[in-house]
Copies of this chain bind each other. A is one copy, B any other.
Amino acid sequence: MEGDFVVTPWQVTGDIDYDQLIQRFGTKKVDQALLDRLAGYGPLHPMLRRGVVYSQRDMEWLLDLYDKGVKFSLYTGRGPSGNTHLGHLMPWIFCKYLQDTFGAPLYFQMTDDEKFLFNEGLSLEDTYQKAMDNALDVIALGFDPDKTKIIIDTDCIRTLYPLSLKVAKKVTFSTAKAVFGFDNSTNIGSIFFTSVQSAPAFLPSVLEGRNVPILIPCGIDQDPHFRVTRDVAESLGFYKPALLHTKMFPGLTGGDKMSSSVPDSTIYTTDTAKVVRRKVGNAFTGGAVSAEEQRKTGGKPEVCAVFKYQYYLFEPSDQALDDLADRCRKGDVLCGECKKMLSDRLVHFLEGHQRRREEAKSQLGRFIMRCE
């Protein structure tokens, strides 16, 4: 085992060494040259400036085509196993920036089949219902209804299945084992599933009748699926999809990933102000043992979950972020104040999101892809 962390589409544990993950997965760092180039299309998103979006595949190729007038489509998705939390929203917010900046259509896959297959305790009815519920969070982020289609796997399987079969025919169990760590006890649906996650990468080409370049913004944990997609793409007559990978959104209780299995590490999009303030109040910080001590020694923003939330998602100004880190290190700002500031922002954000989420209920019909 290389390092003592595990990152697969179904398991993220340990302290993630993101640079080592680039080595392990064989991706490329988002470097200054790419950032400079992306800045040419519109203001750089904070997640790009701050290295939250940090890894990529084939972005130069995609932008070369774009510069020649070849439009690409976006593809991302969600495994609807429960309520949406901020860790899910983060890459979607980045995805919206991409849609806005490049005017790109978005195909958003809800893998209700996957979550049923991989979770002993979930029925297909559960995951379908969660797919419809999670769709509200996608819509609430403000994606363009004329350019966004939410694909629910079990509803759209007739459209996805022929593409899935073509992928599946080219992937052996050996490959699935090596990429996903399956073994003989894995169920045969889970083994097949990656084919269904590949299909939307080729769907725009089928629908538009031309070879459509695809950009997939997603958490780095999803890269294994798209390695499979990329490996088979050209032999099926499609382009390999390009990727932009985000780091995992940190948990409030510390740790590298917000996870529904640790409820207090997680802010759900439906959490009330009271719950948010309680969870942030209990967050892991970089503070000292006492206020007095902290005023003397200062805090450690680089390990602080509260600071990370501002860094990853909530503080748009780099200057303000630097100032905050600086004041923390000097002991000029204490954890209580920081928690109050983040709670206020979270509560404000969620109030707006929850309002738009309610409004989204009447918009589902515009966004959900109708399949035969």
Contact = CB atoms under 8 A, between A and B. Distances in A.
Interface of A: 113, 116-117, 124, 154-155, 157-158, 161-162, 164-166, 168-174, 176-177, 182-192, 194-195, 371-372
A238 to B, nearest CB: 15
B194 A172 contact: no
Give the copy number. 2
A191 B187 CA distance: 10
A36 to B, nearest CB: 41
Contacts of A183: 173
Given A168-B187, A172-B184, 7 more contacts: A154-B158, A154-B161, A158-B372, A171-B189, A188-B192, A189-B192, A189-B195
Contact of A192 (B155, B170, B192): B192
Contact of A189 (B165, B182, B190, B372): B165
Nearest to A192: B192
Contact of A171 (B124, B172, B188, B371): B188
A157 B161 contact: yes
A113 B161 CA distance: 9
A129 to B, nearest CB: 14
Contact of A195 (B176, B185, B188, B194): B188
A166 B372 contact: no
Contacts of A191: 173, 188, 191-192
Nearest to A125: B162
A301 to B, nearest CB: 45
A165 B177 CA distance: 20
A35 B248 CA distance: 66
A169 B372 contact: no
A117 B154 contact: no
Contacts of A124: 162, 165-166
Given A113-B161, A161-B113, A168 B188 contact: yes
B169 A116 contact: yes
